[in-house]
Amino acid sequence: MLVCKITCLTGEVPEQTCRSAVAYRDVGEGREQEAEASPARIAARRRSYRMIFCNNWVSAMTKAAAEDYAFYQVVPGDNSFQQEVIDGLSRQPRCIPPKYFYDRDGSRLFESICEQPEYYPTRTETALLKQYADEIAAVAASDCHLIEPGSGSCEKVRHLLDALQPAAYVPLDISCEFLEKAAAGIADDYPWLDVHAVCTDITTEVSLPFIPEQADAVMFYPGSSIGNFDPDDARAFLACLANISGAGGGLLIGVDLKKAPEILDAAYNDANGVTAAFNLNLLRRINRELAGDFDTEAFAHHAFYNSARGRVEMHLISERRQTVSVDGHIFEFNAGDSIHTENSYKYTIDEFQTLAQQAGFTACRVWSDNDDLFSLHYLQVA
Ligand code: AVI
């Protein structure tokens, strides 16, 4: 279930209500290290330090002010990977949520997918961001807090920052290691920008450790990651983003468009086999982290456009009869059996605007390329 939460009380919170005394001490130490930071940065940090105690999360600040950015880790504190893999392999049809692709190797492979000649979404969206950065800045409030769920390498936001001049940038990502590196890169390259990175799983909970004060929130959700949610979940997720943005806020979102199936089939079956490696890395991750014994040579990547459902489906197909063990659980596969690993929904502009309206947004602007491959929408909270 997706939970939408913005949790904050302003003002000092009694110590006994704090979930973690350790975090409190860490913050104290962090304050002492702030001597060299700019006054504006110190003020912003102090605000967020105070706020981090105002919620009920198991959260900890792992990077203090010695760094040029703030880093919050919303500790999952559970065994959800193990549970979701066992549950997913136990049901028919078998499936594993795509969010588990993104361990360190998976995140690197995804970066490489984005550079493959057949995978048009990244370069097309990037071209739109570059071409229309000024128009985007004209509709989105400057001085906003720019919040990017699923920020990955934080590359695309770079095309917006100079034009938009946000007061703060808040990348959220499930891959902590990747996020730390990406946030540090942004903080280095944009010294005027306040960066607050939050390591969290946005597919279960969209939440922030602080509320942007005296600024509009603009959410940035590029890459057509919205396509990886089933439509009902996409609507719920968009509603969470609308809730976080609040009145006066907005959402800049990249959405892959419906198109000829051959283009889609090629994009998810690149000739270099990078998408296949990305898909199979899920089994490697299970072997590594969940004591699995998948023979990755005995499963094949299979991706195709399902036009009836308007989505590209990715599967891992068992190439022979085999028995697999994961964390002591036994799973039998026949030749041809599938593990469904991802859906990537494609929308027309009208279909997506209808979905966004149902989630509480009104369409403001839409940009697309000459070949109608990809769209970039600016939506305002209704
Ligand atoms: C992250 N997401 C939008 C990608 C997509 O196109 O659905 C993930 C991906 N899977 C295979 N190739 C890329």
The rounded distance, in Å, linking the Cα atoms of 375 and 111 is 20
Per-domain residue ranges for the chain? Answer: 1-12+68-382
Segment 39-48 mean pLDDT: 46
Distance 30 CA to ligand 1 centre (A): 38
Residue 91 contacts by C-beta under 8 Å, 6 or more apart in sequence? Answer: none
Nearest CA to ligand 1 atom 7: 344
Pairwise pLDDT comparison (131 vs 213), residue with the higher score: 131
Identify the pLDDT of residue 200: 82
pLDDT band at 293 (very low <50, low <70, confident <90, very high): very high
Determine which helix (DSSP H) or strand (DSSP E) holds 188, and give its type and residue range. helix 176-189
Structure tokens at 167: 């007061």
Give the global pTM.
Answer: 0.85
Best mutation site among 109, 113, 155, 202 for ligand 1, i.e. most ligand atoms within 8 A of its Cβ? 113
The rounded distance, in Å, linking the Cα atoms of 93 and 9 is 44
CATH superfamily ID and name for 1-12+68-382: Vaccinia Virus protein VP39 (3.40.50.150)
pLDDT digits (tens, 9 = 90+) for 157-180: 999 999 999 989 999 988 888 888
Does residue 62 carry a pLDDT above 80?
A: no
Best mutation site among 156, 259, 342 for ligand 1, i.e. most ligand atoms within 8 A of its Cβ? 342
Distance 364 CA to ligand 1 centre (A): 26
Which amino acid does the sequence have at 210? Answer: F
CB atoms within 10 A of CB 213: 14
Position in ligand 1 atom list of the atom nearest CA 344: 7
pLDDT band at 212 (very low <50, low <70, confident <90, very high): low
pLDDT digits (tens, 9 = 90+) for 64-76: 444 578 887 775 5
Position in ligand 1 atom list of the atom nearest CA 342: 10
Which amino acid does the sequence have at 152? Answer: G
Q: How far is CA 294 from CA 107, 135, 283, 334, in A?
A: 21, 49, 6, 14
* The pairing of beta strand 311-318 with beta strand 338-345: antiparallel
